[in-house]
Amino acid sequence: MFTGIIQAVGRIVSREARGTDARLVIDAGTLGLADVAPGDSIAVAGVCLTAVELDGTRFAADVSAETLRLTTLGALAAGDPVNLEKALRLADRLGGHLVSGHVDGVGAVAAVDDDGASQRWTFRAPAALMRYIAVKGSVCVDGTSLTVNTVDGDTFGVTLIPHTLAMTTFGARAPGDAVNLEVDLVARYVERLQSATIPKPA
Beta strands at 21-27 and 155-160: parallel, antiparallel or unpaired = unpaired
Q: pTM for the complete prediction?
A: 0.88
> Does position 202 have pLDDT exceeding 70, yes or no?
no
Say what the pLDDT of residue 198 is.
64
Environment class of 62 (CB within 10 Å of its CB; exposed 0-12, middle 13-18, buried 19+): middle
**Span 105-192 CATH architecture:** Beta Barrel (2.40)
Q: Do domains 8-86 and 105-192 have the same CATH topology?
A: yes
Q: What is the DSSP letter of 68?
A: H
- For residue 174, give Cα distances in angstroms to 110, 142, 168: 8, 14, 13
Residue 1 binned pLDDT confidence (cut-offs 50, 70, 90): confident
Compute the distance between CA of residue 191 and CA of residue 71 in angstroms, rounded to an integer: 23
> Rounded to a whole number, what is the distance in angstroms from the first to the last CA of the chain?
39
> How far out from the chain centre does Cα 46 lie?
2
Nearest to 98 by CA among 32, 10, 167, 5: 5
Assigned CATH for 8-86: 2.40.30.20
Write down the domain spans for the chain: 8-86, 105-192
Neighbours of 111 (CB within 10 A): 12
Q: What is the pLDDT of residues 136-183, one digit of tens each?
A: 999 999 999 999 999 999 999 999 999 999 999 999 999 999 999 999
